[in-house]
Chain A
Amino acid sequence: MSDIPNELSYTKSHEWVANDGDGTVTVGITEYAQGSLGDLVFVELPETGTKFAVGDPVAVVESVKAASDIYAPVDGEIVEVNEELADSPERVNEDPFGEGWLFKMTVDNTEQLSDLLDAEAYGDIVEAEED
């Protein structure tokens, strides 16, 4: 069973969401997601200032095996992206919940945060997929 930190929120599409407490969230992909994808070789991140609605494709992570879209967990605007990943996409594999974060975005509608999954609900999804 892969690591699923309790303090984070999750999406069905395997993004994790950290509430930064200042009206923004930090978004990455889970330990389980990076393990399924295998070694990442490219990460395509959005421009800061771009606005997205929940569910919009925001970024692309591409591994040796496959390319995968990353979706906006909430409505909001990109305020920062992890520039380090351009040269070191392997950080997502090595430290998905830390140095491998993808982007930060504003939260236009805080109610959407309560639509996200908690660690337990996300764990059930992972368990089902692993079977």
Chain B
Amino acid sequence: MANQTPLYDEHVAAGAKLVDFAGWDMPINYGSQIAEHNTVRESAGMFDVSHMRPVDIEGAEARDLLRHVLANDVAKIDEVGRAFYTCMLNTRGGVIDDLIVYHLGENWYRIVVNAATATKDMAWITSQAEEFDASVTSRDDLAIIAVQGPKARELTKDILDDDLAAEAMELKPFRAAAAGKWSVGRTGYTGEDGFEIVLPDDSAVEIWRALQDVGVAPIGLGARDTLRLEAGLNLYGQDMDEDTSPLESGLGWTVAFEPADREFIGRNSLEHIREHGEAKKMVGLLLEGRGVMRHGAAVRAAGDEATEAEDAAGEVTSGSFAPTLGRSIALARVPADWSDTVEVLLRGKWVSARIVKYPFVRNGKIRVDI
């Protein structure tokens, strides 16, 4: 039987269409995915992301452990309350997972990892932790609710305890506050402002209902995917995995090569790739015509009519219809020297698409020429 979050009954009662997501029964939508997408861009919506797993890293050498295991350098978040996004790499420089690290207290970090990779991540970090004075604790007792959208923070304020609410409202982007079992981060996966609230399982229903009462709409994982794609945010397992490096996944900015003496796992492989120049790069694509680019679609250079699908050097890693743009957009991995336009194979036809800088949408505003 699939896992269920503490909010499962709420989803059922709200008429959610439930799907299996990495072994969890999760709401894909509560009616219209596009309406939910627009709600987050224009107002505020909430996501049950309790299938994702918080993991606490604590102890005198917690910082040293994370400096070794993560490609970004937690020395950047030495100040308590700071957070950042990073990849966790294998020795080949491939991505084991991507995650956000919150520095919640002295010798206390909390990472939130993907549902599909949680077991693997725990095993990896625990094995790496053997040489450090640090504990690694999977927090299966915690739920996560993300509240996102231009009105998200204002609406969330009133449903948090006064002290935590006051702290939360002062948070700058990528900062977090903690109180007891609760933590609130000004982070998200939609390209909008908002909070991600980690809270005890047994408080989840009460907070979910309270948010609903102040006008925050429940949003399914379908809209979460189109929101993150418009925001140009990678999805693990689709845009990168253990066989692709962050450098060819548009995530080079998350790798801290400085200081040069920090020996993080994967460093040697990434330096080798960097020296020889990356063969591939991640680009944003905007489809010129109708149709929808989808994960796995072949991409070839514009006008390269000799190339068939199986020989195409590029591939769509994430593609969808983008509700905010009314067009199809994608992230695609293509040869590093490609620019301007390409062709994407859609249902047997090569269709022209333009390479664009992403994010496509940020804080409700379209950032590409359409």
Contacts and interface: CB of A to CB of B under 8 A. Distances in A.
A99 interface: no
A62 B32 contact: no
Contact of B292 (A35, A42, A90): A42
Contact of B291 (A35, A42, A65, A93): A42
Interface string A59-103: 010101111000000000000000000000010010000000000
A39 B291 contact: no
A44 B294 CA distance: 18
Given A64-B321, A65-B222, A41 B292 contact: yes
Contacts of B52: none
B260 to A, nearest CB: 45
| Chain A interface main SS type | mixed
A38 B29 contact: yes
B276 interface: no
A60 to B, nearest CB: 8
Q: Which of B28, B34, B222, B226 has the most CB of A within 10 A?
A: B34
Nearest to A60: B347
B291 A62 contact: yes
Nearest to A62: B292
A39 B294 CA distance: 16
Interface in B320-351: 320-321, 323, 347
Contacts of A35: 17
Given A38-B222, A67-B347, A93 B32 contact: yes
B37 to A, nearest CB: 9
Contacts of B291: 42, 62, 67
B321 A41 contact: yes
B292 A39 contact: no
B226 A64 contact: yes
B181 interface: no
A67 B29 CA distance: 18
A3 to B, nearest CB: 15
Contacts of A60: 347
B33 interface: yes
Given A42-B290, A44-B290, A64 B347 contact: no
B46 to A, nearest CB: 20
B360 to A, nearest CB: 15
A62 B34 CA distance: 14
B320 A64 contact: yes
Contact of B33 (A38, A42, A66): A38
Contacts, number: 36
Nearest to A93: B32
A93 to B, nearest CB: 7
A32 to B, nearest CB: 12
A103 to B, nearest CB: 18
Contacts of A44: 290
Given A38-B29, A38-B33, A39-B32, A67 B290 contact: no
B201 to A, nearest CB: 30
A67 B33 contact: no
Contacts of B222: 38, 64-65
Nearest to B225: A64
A44 B28 CA distance: 25
A122 to B, nearest CB: 21
Nearest to B328: A41
Contacts of A66: 294
Interface in A23-43: 35, 38-39, 41-42
Interface in B220-263: 222, 226
Contacts of B35: 39
Contacts of B294: 66
A39 B226 CA distance: 12
A28 B290 CA distance: 21
Contact of A39 (B33, B290, B347): B33
Given A38-B222, A41-B321, A64 B290 contact: no
B202 to A, nearest CB: 33
Contacts of A39: 32-35
Q: Which 3 A-B pairs have the closest CB atoms?
A: A41-B321, A39-B34, A39-B33
Given A41-B34, A93-B32, 16 more contacts: A38-B29, A38-B33, A38-B222, A39-B35, A41-B292, A42-B291, A42-B321, A44-B290, A60-B347, A62-B292, A62-B321, A64-B33, A64-B226, A64-B320, A66-B294, A67-B347
22 contacts: A38-B28, A38-B33, A39-B32, A39-B33, A39-B34, A41-B34, A41-B292, A41-B321, A42-B321, A44-B290, A60-B347, A62-B291, A64-B34, A64-B292, A64-B320, A64-B321, A65-B222, A66-B294, A67-B291, A67-B292, A67-B347, A93-B32
